[in-house]
Every structure is written in structure tokens, then in C-alpha cells.
């Protein structure tokens, strides 16, 4: 049996400038161990697996895997999976809204021209950052405590904590530690001067299973919760654009919007750059 797949670039500003995700279709008969093995072999940050939905309101179901575990939700895999499903001929029940079924529940994805956007999920932890955690962050980033102008827990699942620096330039200048013994999911944001194409620069760092501190090229979930923080605090006014990935030779562009119902939408361009089939025997 063969399984069609696409490699989708998400949040890019042109080919090979965003964050890739592999999307495997027709995966309803694959078990969890096989999905995790495929994900590790592909060695991308996430791989997703499409199947028919169980909820009649949903257009498709997806399981999302990182290199180490299954995730209930993730941002750029959601947009990449929606894109791949549409390219493969998926017909949404509603013309301008696609409903994704995943472990976190139903996620709304809307289309606007060539751009897709997901509705930001609610945060599970929000509030002030403890002094001990701030001291840990200062040590990891190699900066002074005074360089942090604001900080907030913005955890919508992965464990994100975010700090704001005085400028986008300060964010780009960071050269954080290469390893960290404790698990850390850290976002750093700083504003550009008025008139710049982007309102903010953001960087995302996380500790991998071996203790290495890794930078994510473009991260949808972090952008979602940081946007909720900045909009609620009055530090940002949507719509606006975020830049991410410059230090990794990427050109991520994340489009943030805020609707009348209070929902934050996180959008960007998506493109299938490779496609094919997995023809290996997968033991099913």
C-alpha cells in the first residue's frame, strides 16, 4: 500500500523561506508507533497524518507528531496540513472555513486569497513570570535583567514563556546558550520602528530531549499566544506582521489579525514544494 505525502512550506515569503512540515495522507490504518517512526526518520520538526474525521462537523482529522511525541495541536503543522488536504482535492463543508479535528479538538482555519489562518487556541497558563524563572531566562539568553521590559506566561500547550526586549534589533542580536539542563520553551519578542514592514521580530527557543537549546525557524503556536498577550496589553494593534527566522536564513512572515468576536487569527502563505508517495512496507 502507498501513502501520498507532501512537504509543505509554511509562513514563508517565497520558496524555502518558511518552516516545512511533512503531511502523509490516507493514514487511518497506521498505528501510533509507525507514525512516530516515520516522523523520526524524516527528521523534520513535525510530521502530520491525515485521516477521515470522526466528528461530523470536521472536514478532516489529523494526528501531529514531533520527533519525540504526539502533539495535541501545533500551528505551522495545522496550516500545512490544511494546505495539503486542499491541494489533494479536499472540499470543505463551508467555502471560507475549514474545520480540523485533532487531539486538542476542533480547530477553525480560514482562507483569504492564497493565505491560510488558524484561530488561536486559548492559553492554559497566563500571568506573571516568577523571579526564579526570569533569572533562568536571563542566564540562558546571556543578557541583563534590565534588558527584559516585560514578561508573561503564554502557554497554549507546549509550555511557552515569553519575554519582550527593547527592540527587534536586540532580539536579533541574541546569542543564547547552546544547551540547558531543564526543559525550556522560550519566546523572545521586540518591536521594529514605525514604518518597518514588520511590527515585531520574534524568536523561539526550546530544549530538545538531549538538552540542546534549539531555535524554531517559524512557530505558529508561539506567535498565537504572544499575539494574544500583546493585543490584550495594548502593546500591539492588529492587523500586523511578525518577522521570524532571520538568524536561521529564513524569512518567515506571520500575519496576525483580531476579529470582532475577540479571536486572534494567525496566518501565512503555504506552498507544497515536494510531493510523492511512501511505498515502504509499514506493517499494516
pLDDT band with cut points at 50, 70 and 90 for residue 283:
low
CA distance 245 to 18: 8
The mean pLDDT value of the chain amounts to 94
CA distance 47 to 71: 10
Residues 245, 217: contact at Cβ < 8 Å? yes
User: What CATH number does the domain containing 202 carry?
Assistant: 3.10.310.10
Residue 157 included in any domain:
yes
Residue 41 included in any domain:
yes
pLDDT at 205: 97
Same domain, yes or no: 73 and 134? no
Domain containing residue 83? 3-120+268-278
Q: State yes or no: pLDDT of 284 exceeds 80.
A: no
- Bridge partners, residue 53, by sequence: none
Same domain, yes or no: 85 and 157? no
Q: Which helix (H) or strand (E) holds 148?
A: strand 148-155
pLDDT at 211: 84
The mean pLDDT value for 224-252 works out to 97
CA distances in angstroms from 20 to 185, 191, 238, 256, listed in the order given: 20, 26, 26, 20
| Per annotation, catalytic residue among 46, 101, 201, 269 | 46
Residue 112 included in any domain:
yes
State yes or no: cis peptide before 10, omega within 30 of 0.
no
Closest among 102, 108, 78 to 263, alpha carbons compared: 108
Same domain, yes or no: 234 and 105? no
Residues 191, 167: contact at Cβ < 8 Å? yes
pLDDT at 119: 97
Q: For residue 70, indicate whether it is catalytic.
A: no
Q: State yes or no: pLDDT of 279 exceeds 80.
A: no
Amino acid at each position: 500500500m502507498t501513502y501520498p505525502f507532501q512537504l509543505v512550506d509554511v509562513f514563508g515569503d517565497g520558496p524555502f523561506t518558511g518552516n516545512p512540515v511533512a503531511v502523509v495522507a490516507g493514514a487511518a490504518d497506521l498505528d501510533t508507533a509507525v507514525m512516530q517512526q516515520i516522523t523520526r526518520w524524516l527528521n523534520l520538526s513535525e510530521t502530520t497524518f491525515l485521516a477521515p474525521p470522526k466528528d461530523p462537523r470536521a472536514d478532516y482529522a489529523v494526528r501531529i507528531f514531533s520527533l519525540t511525541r504526539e502533539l495535541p495541536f501545533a500551528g505551522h503543522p495545522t496550516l500545512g496540513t490544511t494546505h495539503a488536504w486542499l491541494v489533494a482535492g479536499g472540499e470543505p463543508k463551508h467555502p471560507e472555513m475549514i474545520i480540523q479535528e485533532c487531539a486538542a479538538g476542533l480547530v477553525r482555519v480560514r482562507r483569504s486569497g492564497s493565505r491560510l489562518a488558524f484561530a488561536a487556541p486559548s492559553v492554559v497558563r497566563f500571568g506573571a513570570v516568577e523571579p526564579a524563572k526570569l533569572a533562568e531566562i536571563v542566564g540562558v539568553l546571556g543578557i541583563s535583567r534590565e534588558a527584559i521590559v516585560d514578561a508573561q506566561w503564554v502557554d497554549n500547550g507546549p509550555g511557552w514563556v515569553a519575554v519582550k526586549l527593547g527592540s527587534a534589533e536586540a532580539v536579533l542580536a541574541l546569542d543564547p546558550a547552546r544547551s540547558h539542563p531543564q526543559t525550556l520553551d522560550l519566546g523572545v519578542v521586540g518591536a521594529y520602528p514605525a514604518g518597518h514592514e514588520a511590527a515585531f521580530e520574534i524568536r523561539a527557543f526550546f530544549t530538545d530531549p538531549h538538552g540542546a537549546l534549539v531555535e524554531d525557524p517559524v512557530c505558529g503556536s508561539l506567535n498565537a499566544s504572544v499575539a494574544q498577550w500583546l493585543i490584550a496589553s495594548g502593546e500591539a494593534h492588529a492587523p500586523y506582521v511578525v518577522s521570524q527566522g532571520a538568524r536561521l536564513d529564513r524569512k518567515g512572515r506571520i500575519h496576525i489579525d483580531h476579529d470582532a468576536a475577540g479571536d486572534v487569527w494567525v496566518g501565512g502563505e503555504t506552498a507544497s514544494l515536494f510531493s510523492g508517495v511512501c511505498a515502504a512496507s509499514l506493517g499494516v
